Structure 1
Amino acid sequence: MLHVAHPVRPAVARPARRPLPVRVGWIVAAVVAVVLVAAASVAFGVRAVAWPDVVAGVLGDPGGIAAAAVQKRVPRTALALLVGAALGLSGAVMQGVTRNPLADPGILGVSSGASLAVVVGIAFFGLTSPAAYIWVAIAGAAVAAAFVYAVGSAGRGGATPLKLALAGAASSAAFSALISAVLLPRVDVMDQFRFWQVGGVGGADAARTAQVLPFLAVGALLALVSARGLDTVALGDDVAAGLGARVGRTRLLAAAGGVLLAGAATAAAGPIGFVGLAVPHLCRLLVGPRHRWLLPASALVGAVLLTAADVLGRLVARPAEVDVGIVTALLGAPVFIWIVRRSRVRAL
């Protein structure tokens, strides 16, 4: 009688569950950090603003250059907080859906798909309004996510974390090549697109933030509703199904929320990397792996990271600015390497 040897799964170093007071403490600390970086974003820039002028500008006092600077920075701060929260939350959801510690909107090709859709819209359909960018970017992100999942599901074994990561990396490279192919013959489109492609929140205004807010709210709601289901999916599809979980529905809802968040954030601020990749890992070290705590923590820490990076980009090159996408790339790469080496994460 032949015995089939089942493959032995390698041991995985999972973050330990944290006691409730520790988790609550980190959430409160993250909320405080959000308030502090928001205040710093309003106060610091090419021109430093004293705190009395900050208060006057926030309250709508039209007098003085300082108050005018504050009023200009408030929409920028709001957009940075929203985009950072969306990218952090989207990264945590995508890692939970795919059970892949390397999943994020950039590596899975979602951000590149959104960027390609925006480029095609600008080049061939004459899109110019931010509202049009949002719809086109979300459609491109959804198509890219479906394509990556279809490629990663092909063959034996279905959609494994490794196959999804490889499919996402290959698709992202292909989308980037297509973007270059569309842009190179069109200098006018390249001038319009290149500043958006770097990733930044410098051109934010109240109308732009209001346009993207409903999409981010719906995406966040879908992601948070899926938190309990993602905890069950983390045990494996067979175990989750045995416990009565609807694995397919959970993955569909969570993936829809993650794609909506990533697409809307990309439309508003351009493709910004490393936030969705590094933030969930950091939050697992702080609050543990349970998604009902991980998802809110990832949103808060993502908002802190992106807003702090935007403030740093304004300060290091006065009177010019360094776009936030460049700052997050410079800061995110070494932080992510440190997190992976410290926690030795191989799978979720």
Structure 2
Amino acid sequence: MEIGVPKETKDQEFRVGLSPSSVRVLQESGHQVFVQTEAGTGAGFADEDYSIAGAKIVPTPEAAWNRELVVKVKEPLASEYKFLQKNQLLFTYLHLAADRLLTETLIDSGICAIAYETVEQPGANRLPLLTPMSIIAGRLAVQFGARFLERQQGGRGVLLGGVPGVKPGKVVILGGGVVGTEAAKIAVGMGAIVQILDVNVERLSYLETLFGSRVELIYSNSAHIETAVKEADLLVGSVLIPGRKAPILVSRELVKQMRPGSVIVDVAVDQGGCIETLRPTSHTHPVYTEEGVVHYGVPNMPGAVPWTATQALNNSTLPYVVQLANLGVKALDVNPALAKGLNVQNRRLVHPAVQEVFPDLVS
């Protein structure tokens, strides 16, 4: 099969769909990979690395897109819509619940679109292609939050770890899943006071075995959220409902009650966000201040560490890419986890969670 790897077009998105080592695996399996020139440069992979691995370097995005299977990292942007083809396979993050126009465009194109974030396995590791980026995003959330708490960045001027004689900053994390857990690890490591709120009591029990008394674990309801958010120096939104828009847990009125210069980092922004005042930003312009609070809403946070993120993503996606390359659309019939990743096929919106968001697009 011919596999295309376009250069990402999202603002400062330096990850790439396939690493040279992944290309080599596909080439050894009898497939031909076409990589757009400089697609991997931002992640530390030169065109020569891809050529040595067996890829053909192509000069334009069209040459990379014009293949049976296209492997990306982020969703197609408006400038790429013209490349979408009927019966083509697209394998990438999509997050359709937060993007009606993209959803409509994919349906109209006739493409077969499979989303990393909805590939789902049974058992504990339910979302295997979302997990590696969630780990990175969770860790970066506190790293970025600490930066924007600095006074020069518009924050309160709080050092999360404090110093002897001065209490540490307080980090409040909404959601105790992968993102929230990883955010807590970094926050604890920095010496911050940390709270995690979650509605799943079993998850809270697990987190107690992980953190012990180093993290305060609180059942999430409106009263507890209100109390915690008011006291937060850094608020991390990490709520995930697979395929659906994130629920709004923090209202504008509650944001108004936060201390001026506090920081919000909403990792759920690519699914619509769980903070009412938060809107998507970019790596070029990552923050804005509203109601006196610094808001960070970059939807492709792992793009800040593309060398690490590309390899972590490929470690998880490659087996599925190989299966799609070997079997084409029939891979969906033999792999139930991959089949759950299917969002759009035959000009129809097929993923149940996205159908609930856009019921009028269901034929």
* TM-score of the aligned structures, taking structure 2 as reference length: 0.27
Answer 1 or 2: which has greater strand percent.
2
* TM-score of the aligned structures, taking structure 1 as reference length: 0.28
Answer 1 or 2: which has greater helix percent.
1
Using CA pairs under 8 Å that are at least 6 residues apart, name the structure with larger relative contact order, 1 or 2. Answer: 1
